[in-house]
Structure 1
Amino acid sequence: MPVRSHPETSNQPKRLPIVEVATKIGVSPRGLLNFGPHKAKVTADLINALENKPDGTLLLVTSVGPTLASGSGAAAAIAISDALNRIGARSMSCLREASLAECLAEACDRPALSVIDWHFTGDLHAVTAAHNYLAALIDNHIHWGNELDIDARRIVWRRVLDLDDRALRSIVNSLGGVENGFPREDGFGLTASSEVMAILCLSLDHKDLLRRLGNIVVAYNSAEAPLYARDLRAQETLAALLAEALLPNLVQTPENNPAFIHGGPCGTSGHGCTSLIATKTALKLADYVITDAGCGADVDVVKFFDIKCRTGGLTPAAVVIITSPRALKLQSGIGEEDVTAENVSAVANGCAALKQHIANIRKFGVGAIVAIATSPTDTQEEVDAITAAASIDCTPAISFTHWEQGRAGVDALARHLMDCCDASSDGLRRLYSDGLPLWYKARTIATEFYGATDISADEAVVAQFKALQAAGYGHLPISMVMTPGAAAKQRRLRAAEPLVVREVVLAAGAEFITVVCGENACNPGLPKPQPKAASA
């Protein structure tokens, strides 16, 4: 897999058999379903046997933004986990899978885990097959008489594929004659954005998976009543397609430590977190579990707390915010061509975004730690400016240099994290209550997290909020869909204008409401530069 290399990749120890890596967390070969010598899934029997074991400590790693200058949250999570193991703790990293679409569009930054090839263990293919099988059932039902009275104009279940292709965003299907069905508008989104992917990542076990799949709303009938996947008797087959994909994938880090790589919901159009079953299993196996969330603190930390933690009963001990002088220069408006030149004032200006992220995390009752990823072009004065900005909020800031110094550059950060985790916590706070109406949940996120004074929407979108509230979905949490660029723009606007909501989408099986803000293409298309596949 063409991934960005860790500086020590060429010098890393030889990969061990995965059965040997598993022994570090007390897993015997009987607890593994092997996919070759270096990757495996853990079995359902193993997961069930761990049920009564105490949980370890959960740490969330995120970044100021999704750019490379911000520092990869996934790369930092692996480096921190390896450092914790070096200093005597038993640690695992627990991260999302990279999609094929990400790899081919050069959007993938999964670091230093080269065993994770383009197809890995086939989880994303299983999600694609399950999603599209349900889509095929809808059209097949209409073709053979439409007993459920599906209104073809109100089918809300589009198809997906694990490939960026703008030509498939909006299509007309079933052309070519009577035998091909009834022509209608359709389109393809990305597998990573599929509700099936979200369901896979939020299900606690197979029974929960089956229930959630049956609850997917696929269409509405002529009386505008919802029709579910269970109405098509689809949930059993969908669950069978996903049975193996539900099991976490075990691989190894550059230092031969165990890591779960499981689930790949999109960070901008999905909830952006690795699977609950992988996270909760890792907490039973390790003293410390290091996970990341989506595209950065701009967009996905709120989804981690509001959706993943709320669903799974998780409480992280701390949140590590990865930043760098270069990232904060970009936040202040400096162009990418100028980020390597010393500019202390630009770093200081960019710290406004960092301080906002710290404040946002504290609203959930969790402490933040700033990790400053330094590079040879950064100056001590720039690093000092970040440390000073964090200290105003009584937030510790630790420099680390894992891209430059490798192992030695992370140990101090790991020790500090262990000390912080030992401190007492008041417990996780929610940003809003389940009983708050959907409109006001979205408004709370916009005002508390993005600094807007309010949210605004046209009459059609306001009607969507009201309809979902009236239909009994008002208790669900909100997944705010916003690109990192839109989030940064909103922070710069502050109170200048409200946050505009463009669309509201029900994910009844995943059990959240997607609130779309700004432009967010369901299938972004390949970028202008030559994609990686040409030189793979």
Structure 2
Amino acid sequence: MLSDTEIARQIRPKPIGQIADQLGIAKSDLWPYGRDMAKVDLNALHRPTGKKGRLVLVSATTPTAAGEGKTTTTIGLGQAFARLGESVCLALREPSLGPCLGMKGGATGGGYSQLVPSDRINLHFTGDFHAITSANNLLSAAIDNHIFQGNELNIDPRRILWRRVMDMNDRSLRHIVLGLGGKQQGIPREGGFDITAASEVMAMLCLAADMDDFCQRLENTLVAFTYQGEPVFAKQLQITGAMLALLRDAIHPNLVQTLEGVPAFVHGGPFANIAHGCNSLMATQMAQHYADWAITEAGFGFDLGAEKFFDIKCRIGHLDPLAVVLVTTTRALKLHGGRAVDSLGGKDVSALRQGLDNLDKHIENVRKFNKEPLVALNHFSGDETEELDVIKNHCQKVKTPFVLCDHYASGGDGAIELAKQVIQVAGQSQPYSPLYSLELPVEEKIKIVSRQIYGADDVAFTRQAAKDLRQIQQLGFANLPICIAKAPGSLSDDPKLLGRPRHFDITVRRLQINSGAGFLVVFTGDILRMPGLPKHPAAERWRLQPDGSIDGLE
């Protein structure tokens, strides 16, 4: 079997100007980055197009080490729409360099359902992540410099909320001491790094409506408290103009294509377990503006990315997907049913049946937003017919459409039936309903998500969390939506609890005000905002070839 890299080498992508022409994007709005990539000016959103912009959301069951193929399915589905003669455009997140070098590897799909140029998209792309990192760390430097230069704002170094970031998995930087080395090296204090994808600048870029809105969000970002307990916002440091200058190009969506020449906006990359997990609102709106069908995805399982897609992104951007696709695999379901990760290739109908509990919970969760899901089984070459029939029959039992897909091996042809089913479901869609009202107390919002989406019995708040709740109320941020940071590999906050856990509580350790992004981050369990590398990171397999291509980036 050919590797993803070998498959991509067989196909010559269309010039990016030709992809823009397919969408009807004016040449004056296209900023090429070489032959295969371009940025599209935000002004393109104001050009008349007459497209219908029907939105489709792709999500998945709870992620496992076996992989579900959510991005691959999204790409395959887009290619299938094109094969049916439909006007279609994708809207996807940019990969984070840290996970690409770490455990996950590349994040541009696979097989014959890939984005191209995959190596450039995975590595640096058009520089958006670097711009976000630089803007974030400029604000960090400005805070420490302000204190060093006399501290007119009276910032308490012990109560600085803003952390530095980098787009790399480096556990040694999670907690550090800054300013060591004497009087001229700054004020010693504790600090640390998050990964860029978890930064509030990333979240702000992905939720901003335009440049003016982005500027306002940057200015309204809470960064610290004074010795007297008063809030300090980024605008008080007079640095947001320079931050916006660094982000001048990053705010414009990036245009690439799939192996079959389907246009794709790839822009922004917040993680769904520690942020809201969706590509930029501007890219989604651009896809809707220039195509009759816009297909997007939300990170990790439906309980994380898709819940935030509905309760955060749809609220802010006034979006409403007409269809929701849930991706799963036989391997993932068997792992949720108790099968060992190193023996998922063998037949185990008993484990598969047990794992269906996880699928059922996600189906129920989709319906909580007044949507009907469609289950897409991402087919693997070793899948047993008996196991496929078990899943199909189960979906019929719970009255959920089921489609077996082979887009990895067959590209768009392998998802034709899925595309037809999506079109049918979209024609019967009802308006979505948010899970909670913003006017509810923050504790109640957290309990609603924990009980209804995760299946928890109750929520336990630590002393620090209770203190944070009081502060949120005092500062007037209680009406913001919540963004729960939780383990992605379980419906609970314990990554070891697979399947559909029951009789558990969610533990909230602390809360953080992301006033610029416009949501409250709720930290549960032992969730971290800076991942570490595994014992054998994916980077060990990478090799740069004489022609400039990279082997092992898959």
Same fold, TM exceeding 0.5?
yes
Do structure 1's residue 498 and structure 2's residue 505 form an aligned pair?
Answer: yes
TM-score (norm. length: structure 1): 0.95
Is 2:256–2:265's contact at 8 Å kept on the other side of the alignment? yes
**1:426: how far off?**
2.4
Once residues 522 and 475 of structure 1 are traced to their aligned partners in structure 2, the CA distance between those partners, rounded to angstroms, is 24
Do structure 1's residue 529 and structure 2's residue 536 form an aligned pair?
Answer: yes
Once residues 290 and 4 of structure 1 are traced to their aligned partners in structure 2, the CA distance between those partners, rounded to angstroms, is 26
Q: Provide, for residues 386-413 of structure 1, a one-character-per-residue CA deviation record: whole Å limited to 9, x for no partner.
A: 1222222211001111223333321111
Is 2:69–2:378's contact at 8 Å kept on the other side of the alignment? no
Q: Which residue does 1:37 correspond to in 2?
A: 35
The correspondence for 2:461, drawn from 432, 453, 457, is 457
Once residues 188 and 275 of structure 1 are traced to their aligned partners in structure 2, the CA distance between those partners, rounded to angstroms, is 23
Once residues 412 and 64 of structure 2 are traced to their aligned partners in structure 1, the CA distance between those partners, rounded to angstroms, is 23
Q: Which amino acid aligns with 2:57?
A: L
Q: Provide, for residues 436-458 of structure 1, a one-character-per-residue CA deviation record: whole Å limited to 9, x for no partner.
A: 00000000000000111110022
Matched residue count = 531
Q: Which residue does 2:551 correspond to in 1?
A: none
The correspondence for 1:99, drawn from 96, 100, 115, is 96
The correspondence for 2:284, drawn from 276, 279, 284, is 279
Gap runs ≥5 in structure 1:
none
Secondary structure at 2:19's aligned position in 1? helix
Do structure 1's residue 330 and structure 2's residue 335 form an aligned pair?
Answer: yes
Do structure 1's residue 519 and structure 2's residue 495 form an aligned pair?
Answer: no
Of the structure 1 ranges 91-100 and 463-472, higher mean CA displacement relative to structure 2 is found in 463-472
Task: Quickly say closer, same or farther: Cα 1:9–1:43, change in 2 above 3 A.
Answer: same
Is 1:8–1:406's contact at 8 Å kept on the other side of the alignment? no
Do structure 1's residue 480 and structure 2's residue 487 form an aligned pair?
Answer: no
The correspondence for 1:173, drawn from 156, 170, 178, is 178
Task: Quickly say closer, same or farther: Cα 1:220–1:534, change in 2 above 3 A.
Answer: same
Gap runs ≥5 in structure 2:
544-554
Secondary structure at 2:327's aligned position in 1? strand
Is 1:363–1:431's contact at 8 Å kept on the other side of the alignment? yes
**1:110: how far off?**
2.1
Task: Quickly say closer, same or farther: Cα 1:70–1:522, change in 2 above 3 A.
Answer: closer
Once residues 531 and 416 of structure 1 are traced to their aligned partners in structure 2, the CA distance between those partners, rounded to angstroms, is 36
Once residues 298 and 190 of structure 1 are traced to their aligned partners in structure 2, the CA distance between those partners, rounded to angstroms, is 22
Q: Which amino acid aligns with 2:352?
A: V
Is 1:299–1:483's contact at 8 Å kept on the other side of the alignment? no
Task: Quickly say closer, same or farther: Cα 1:55–1:239, change in 2 above 3 A.
Answer: farther
Question: In angstroms, what is the RMSD of aligned CA positions?
Answer: 1.8
Q: Which residue does 2:86 correspond to in 1?
A: 89
The correspondence for 2:398, drawn from 382, 393, 400, is 393
Is 1:217–1:508's contact at 8 Å kept on the other side of the alignment? yes
Q: Which residue does 2:549 correspond to in 1?
A: none
Q: Which amino acid aligns with 1:44?
A: L
Is 2:253–2:282's contact at 8 Å kept on the other side of the alignment? yes
Equivalent positions of 1:349-368 (< 5 A) are 349-368=354-373
Is 2:94–2:122's contact at 8 Å kept on the other side of the alignment? no
**1:273: how far off?**
0.5
Do structure 1's residue 224 and structure 2's residue 229 form an aligned pair?
Answer: yes
**1:47: how far off?**
2.2
Do structure 1's residue 62 and structure 2's residue 62 form an aligned pair?
Answer: no
Q: Which amino acid aligns with 2:477?
A: Y
Is 2:76–2:414's contact at 8 Å kept on the other side of the alignment? no
TM-score (norm. length: structure 2): 0.92
Is 1:7–1:404's contact at 8 Å kept on the other side of the alignment? no
Once residues 453 and 519 of structure 2 are traced to their aligned partners in structure 1, the CA distance between those partners, rounded to angstroms, is 18
Is 1:7–1:406's contact at 8 Å kept on the other side of the alignment? no
Once residues 497 and 466 of structure 1 are traced to their aligned partners in structure 2, the CA distance between those partners, rounded to angstroms, is 25
Task: Quickly say closer, same or farther: Cα 1:287–1:403, change in 2 above 3 A.
Answer: same
Once residues 337 and 94 of structure 1 are traced to their aligned partners in structure 2, the CA distance between those partners, rounded to angstroms, is 34
Is 2:197–2:270's contact at 8 Å kept on the other side of the alignment? yes
Is 1:355–1:389's contact at 8 Å kept on the other side of the alignment? no
Is 2:96–2:122's contact at 8 Å kept on the other side of the alignment? no
**1:336: how far off?**
1.5
**1:260: how far off?**
0.6
Once residues 73 and 376 of structure 1 are traced to their aligned partners in structure 2, the CA distance between those partners, rounded to angstroms, is 17
Q: Which residue does 2:309 correspond to in 1?
A: 304
**1:151: how far off?**
0.4
Once residues 125 and 198 of structure 1 are traced to their aligned partners in structure 2, the CA distance between those partners, rounded to angstroms, is 15
Q: Which amino acid aligns with 2:87?
A: R
**1:487: how far off?**
2.4
Secondary structure at 1:270's aligned position in 2? coil
Once residues 31 and 492 of structure 1 are traced to their aligned partners in structure 2, the CA distance between those partners, rounded to angstroms, is 47
**1:4: how far off?**
7.2
Equivalent positions of 1:178-257 (< 5 A) are 178-257=183-262
Q: Provide, for residues 279-324 of structure 1, a one-character-per-residue CA deviation record: whole Å limited to 9, x for no partner.
A: 0111010111111111222422111111111110100011101111
Q: Which amino acid aligns with 1:395?
A: T
Q: Which amino acid aligns with 1:509?
A: G
Of the structure 1 ranges 402-411 and 340-349, higher mean CA displacement relative to structure 2 is found in 402-411
Task: Quickly say closer, same or farther: Cα 1:8–1:118, change in 2 above 3 A.
Answer: closer
Do structure 1's residue 49 and structure 2's residue 47 form an aligned pair?
Answer: yes
Is 1:93–1:290's contact at 8 Å kept on the other side of the alignment? yes
Do structure 1's residue 411 and structure 2's residue 383 form an aligned pair?
Answer: no
Q: Which residue does 1:317 correspond to in 2?
A: 322
Secondary structure at 1:27's aligned position in 2? coil
